[in-house]
Amino acid sequence: MNPVAERCPRCGKSTKVEKGEILAYCSSCKSLHEIGEKSVVDVEIAKFSSVKEGRRVYIPFWRFFSTFDLPSSDETVHKNLREFIKEGNGGRMFVYVPAAELGQGEALTIGARMTAYNPVYSTTFSFNDVEHLKCCRTSSDARSEVEYYFLAAETSEGRREDLLNGFRVEPSHEKMVFLPFYRSDSELIPAV
């Protein structure tokens, strides 16, 4: 595809983006912005913390700080979310919604995994010449999928979905987060 020029709203320098991309990364001032918009997107780039076999790649996620309420605080029901339940039947956590173009099964698997285990990582200011997948989902599109990934995080290990009837999740602040992975022939392996 032919890249097009996009002007960075923070530093004014031109950066090249491919058609179909929603966000543009400015390597001059290390900022991210929505194409055609004047505002900068809050962004974090996680450092690789492990060495494994495979091609290194960064995958973009919309990370939403979310408040949730569950129908009960039964720990046998809420196995994955137990550590996030703070008062009564609710709590706060980050929900990770993949923003790259991935297969539906792959997106669900890594989105549920990152949400269930909320990775801890150090950050860096650049991609350091590591490939990063392009972002093709807006924050508003991702916001509409927060409940889906929240539910997937709890039901990923064969939990019964009907045990979560009546749950509520309210996303608030969002941030674009690029998480490091190793891509093998058959899977994506987290590197955080």
User: 34: pLDDT confidence band, cut at 50, 70 and 90?
Assistant: confident
Write down the mean pLDDT value for the chain: 83
Question: 74 near 127, Cβ under 8 Å?
Answer: no
The token pair at 162 is: 């009907």
**Global pTM value:** 0.85
Q: Above pLDDT 90, what percent of the chain?
A: 26
Q: Answer left, alpha or beta for residue 165, where phi above 0 means left and psi between -120 and 50 means alpha.
A: beta
Angle between helices 146-155 and 104-117 (to 10 degrees): 80
